[in-house]
Structure 1
Amino acid sequence: MMNILELAESLSNQTKLKTMGWSDSFQEIVSDTDIPARVVSVNKDIFLVSQGSEDIQVTLSGKVRHRTGEADSEKLFPVIGDWVLLRDVVIDKVLPRRNALSRGAAGGRGKSHDVAMKEQIMAANLDTVFIVCGLDRDYNVRRIERYLTLVYNCNLSPVIVLTKADLHEDPLSCVDEVESVAFGVPVHLVSVDDESGVLELEQYLSSGKTATMVGSSGAGKSTLLNRLYGKSVQQTGAVSQSVGKGRHTTTGRDLIAMPQGGLLIDNPGIREIAFYSEDGGVESSFADIEDYALYCRFSDCDHLNDPGCNVLQAVASGELSAERLESYRKMKRELDYVSQRQHKTADRIEKERWRDVAMKIKAVNKNWKRR
């Protein structure tokens, strides 16, 4: 049995771990002799982990480095936000993730389609994803739709943060526009001359909660992190006046313990929002179109030229914008391909696609000859 000192030390360690996001679900799968820690920084082969007090630099065991475990959960490579088990200063195991924010890796696209073939996991074990968009040249509702779909595909909770409100002549109109496409998603407005917007975000950073930020370079993610922290902890850079794009001042990922009690990850700017998985993201992001589609004449209506299409009628009446429908179609095509790819090879999908095209051309030619 534990003596009083050992019990007090154990309780103290549990409290420190909980401030880092440790939960009962993790506690249930470890033994009393295991040493858990959370990955707070990854820089190539250098890993920093924390147990709630100081950061420790560690290396990977051969089993983790080469992912030679028998079960899928034993083949995980540690990313920021992961919980790991230590053996001295070596990561010996990565614990199963509650969730993960992932996208298609840049430069990993297939030769035949504009769809990424490799996965990049940006962060794990999250409670909130801040979608950060500046109200300068960065502002783009269609891009926000893609971010929402990405987050929903990962079964995570999005929060939209519109920064640089002081640079827009009518920022509240942007809030209204975003709310019209982001149903039920909290939208917060942040300005350099008003602290209220920043204070509203503190509710997502309560003790033990983990949030991450995604957005373009120059959207104001690092500046937002510094304001939430109360001092400069992340380098910031100016936005180019000629092209309206920011420089990659954030080149790595760090899990930062915030004074509000929670943790926040500042991701590098994302240039392309590529999908890797499909899990109902489009249905959640475009709930209005899905509702219109329920009343289409045909259950498999493609919303292009099928008769009795209620979605097209909504566009014609002005209830739905043509731009939003086109955004929906584009992402639907991408995610349909992603879904197929999980069960078929890319070559097979391409052959089937061209077979369908050939059949349609054949049918058109046949009808033409009958005239």
Structure 2
Amino acid sequence: MSNKDSLEQDNNFKYLSHLGWSSHFQTQLKSFNKNSFFTARVTGVRKRYFFINDGKKEILATPAGKLQQENSSTYPVVGDWVLVRQTAIEGILSRKNALTRGAAGMHSRKTGEYREQTIAANLDSVFIVTGLDRDFNLRRLERYLTLVYNCGLTPVIILTKADLHQDPQHFVNEAESIAFGVPVHLVSAFNDSGLSELTPYLLHGRTSVMVGSSGTGKSTLINRLCGETVQATGEVSASVGKGTHTTTSRDLIMMPQGGMIIDNPGIREISFWEIDQGVESTFPEIEEFSAGCRFSDCTHAHEPGCRVLQAVQDGELTEARLGNYLKMKRELEYISARKNKSADRVEKERWRDVSMKIKSINKKKSF
């Protein structure tokens, strides 16, 4: 990139602000030669190709060879800020956050290694979208909340298809009963009710990602918020209540309100990757009850003096909610063990490679 182009790029940072550019990313550029790169945000992923936006136009780019060798946690995803030379993505700026999960299938069949899948990066909020049809499930909502809290992100619950019920408020009450302090919005893409309540999340420079099962109306909701059809939609089976996977890729969509939404294919398997305080944030009342248990290592299963079990008996806590809490605690303990095992495997393979190289060198010396 010439000095003239570099100067133009400096002037273009003001155009990046509507894409979410901030000082978090600006300070990182001090480490790079700005004469060689320009900065852009990833707006779409198509296998080995990426759509990127430099603040003025969208460009089709490919990852540089070194990036293709990187693991999935450092490979570009929608929402990333990248350094680009011509049309080659050479690097990724450090993310301020990311929504990650355990890859579908839980682990690699070849290596047995537990793998991470990054869904989107650099987010201001996560829209947990659930339809008020057969998709509405409190236990699933708890899993989504745990997934979001594990990543240190801010959840927002959106209940779609409100027009299917004469009085859908009880769904809001149920969701609020298990999502302490989380905003719950009741909307209908059919008659546009409740859509204006989402405007604060869509203001200039803000980025949200939608997660939820297929058929919950994520793409339809985006189309209504945009005022035009920008995402294809599919039918939902009346017999099983499942939608078709019309959205097959992740795209960052510019909204007329000034912000951005990342559409996401329907999630069938809510697997965890990060394990930091997600369960505690989703089930704060159980954590509070736990402080009153007789034993500090109480499992809340059968121990005498268990305040949590007493809460169930007294009607302060449902058995279903406690069961989901215990299930996710066990799952996260298992994931932690698997991740440690994966790290040990990587270390063993590294030392095995070193050993083989030493043997090869010694063998050459013997000739």
TM-score by length of 2: 0.87
Structure 1 residues 346 and 89: alpha-carbon distance in aligned structure 2, compared to 1, 3 A threshold: closer
The residue that corresponds to 1:166 in the other structure is 163
Further displaced range: 322-331 or 32-41: 32-41
Q: Is the 8 A contact 1:104 1:116 kept in 2?
A: no
The residue that corresponds to 1:254 in the other structure is 251
The residue that corresponds to 1:291 in the other structure is 288
Matched, 1:231 2:234: no
After superposition, the C-alpha distances for 1:60-104 in whole angstroms (9 at most, x for unaligned) are: 111111139xxx9xx821111111001111101111111110111
Q: Is the 8 A contact 2:114 2:339 kept in 1?
A: no
The DSSP-based 3-state class of the residue aligned with 1:180 is helix
The residue that corresponds to 1:64 in the other structure is 67
Equivalent AA in structure 2 for residue 156 of structure 1: L
Matches of 1:319 and 1:46 in 2, distance apart? Answer: 52
The residue that corresponds to 1:23 in the other structure is 22
1:41 CA displacement: 0.5
Matches of 2:79 and 2:172 in 1, distance apart? Answer: 31
1:215 CA displacement: 0.2
After superposition, the C-alpha distances for 1:312-349 in whole angstroms (9 at most, x for unaligned) are: 0010011100000000010010011122333345999x
1:223 CA displacement: 0.6
Q: Which of 142, 145, 155 matches 1:148?
A: 145
The DSSP-based 3-state class of the residue aligned with 2:142 is helix
Match runs of 1:82-161 below 5 Å: 82-109=80-107, 117-161=114-158
1:288 CA displacement: 1.0
1:238 CA displacement: 1.2
Match runs of 1:343-354 below 5 Å: 343-344=340-341
Matches of 1:142 and 1:335 in 2, distance apart? Answer: 16
The residue that corresponds to 2:353 in the other structure is none
1:14 CA displacement: 1.4
| Identity level (%) | 58
The DSSP-based 3-state class of the residue aligned with 2:293 is coil
The DSSP-based 3-state class of the residue aligned with 1:183 is coil
Match runs of 1:175-186 below 5 Å: 175-186=172-183
Equivalent AA in structure 1 for residue 58 of structure 2: D
1:8 CA displacement: 9.2
Q: Which of 321, 334, 337 matches 1:337?
A: 334
After superposition, the C-alpha distances for 1:216-263 in whole angstroms (9 at most, x for unaligned) are: 000010011001111110001111011110000100011111111111
After superposition, the C-alpha distances for 1:272-303 in whole angstroms (9 at most, x for unaligned) are: 10112201100000011111111111111100
The residue that corresponds to 1:79 in the other structure is 77
Further displaced range: 78-87 or 184-193: 184-193
Matches of 1:289 and 1:173 in 2, distance apart? Answer: 23
Matched, 1:41 2:47: no
The residue that corresponds to 1:361 in the other structure is none
Match runs of 1:297-316 below 5 Å: 297-316=294-313
The residue that corresponds to 1:324 in the other structure is 321
Matches of 1:268 and 1:168 in 2, distance apart? Answer: 26
Matches of 1:346 and 1:55 in 2, distance apart? Answer: 38
- Give structure 1 regions of 4+ aligned residues with deviation exceeding 4 angstroms: 5-12, 345-348
1:52 CA displacement: 1.7
The DSSP-based 3-state class of the residue aligned with 2:28 is coil
Matches of 1:292 and 1:108 in 2, distance apart? Answer: 32
Q: Is the 8 A contact 1:116 1:276 kept in 2?
A: no
Equivalent AA in structure 2 for residue 45 of structure 1: R
Matches of 1:328 and 1:234 in 2, distance apart? Answer: 36
The DSSP-based 3-state class of the residue aligned with 1:104 is strand
Matches of 1:10 and 1:90 in 2, distance apart? Answer: 17
Matches of 2:294 and 2:182 in 1, distance apart? Answer: 31
Matches of 1:187 and 1:92 in 2, distance apart? Answer: 40
Equivalent AA in structure 1 for residue 17 of structure 2: K
1:116 CA displacement: 8.8
1:110 CA displacement: 7.6
Equivalent AA in structure 2 for residue 147 of structure 1: Y
Matches of 2:19 and 2:89 in 1, distance apart? Answer: 17
The DSSP-based 3-state class of the residue aligned with 1:79 is coil
1:134 CA displacement: 0.1
1:169 CA displacement: 4.0
Matches of 1:346 and 1:66 in 2, distance apart? Answer: 18
Structure 1 residues 279 and 85: alpha-carbon distance in aligned structure 2, compared to 1, 3 A threshold: same
1:178 CA displacement: 0.5
Q: Which runs of 5+ in 1 are unaligned?
A: 349-371
Q: Is the 8 A contact 1:79 1:122 kept in 2?
A: yes
Once superposed, what is the RMSD of the aligned Cα atoms? 2.4
Q: Is the 8 A contact 2:189 2:221 kept in 1?
A: no
